[in-house]
Amino acid sequence: MPLIKSTSKKAFGENIRREMAAGKPQKQAVAIAYSTKRSAEHKGSTMKHEVKKPAHPTAHSKMHEEHKAKMEAHKEMMAHHKEKMAHHKEKMMAAKTKGMK
């Protein structure tokens, strides 16, 4: 049976069932269903993959700013952990050399 070219969850699930009934492994069936869903989203488009614009540009920029802030905090935390690791490494080397004497 041909696959359902739709973006609905029901069609997605049915496409997976159809592919698995045809003997495809589950992972492959899911990949095919996603591909069919994507092509249904872009139906009528002349480009293969069209970039969708966010519904609310302000919401998008707010999320972007929040993400940038989280990334900066993550970088700071990583630097802190790197310093701690270096300090512990120095302590371990000092204990090791002290034990060798």
Q: For position 65, what pLDDT does the model report?
A: 86
Mean pLDDT, the chain, whole residue set: 84
What does the pLDDT look like over 71-83, one tens digit per residue?
999 999 999 999 9
Q: Which parts of the chain register pLDDT below 70? A: 1, 44-59, 101
Q: What is the three-state SS of the chain? A: CCCCCCCCHHHHHHHHHHHHHCCCCHHHHHHHHHHHHHHHHCCCCCCCCCCCCCCCHHHHHHHHHHHHHHHHHHHHHHHHHHHHHHHHHHHHHHHHHHHHC
Q: For position 41, what pLDDT does the model report?
A: 83
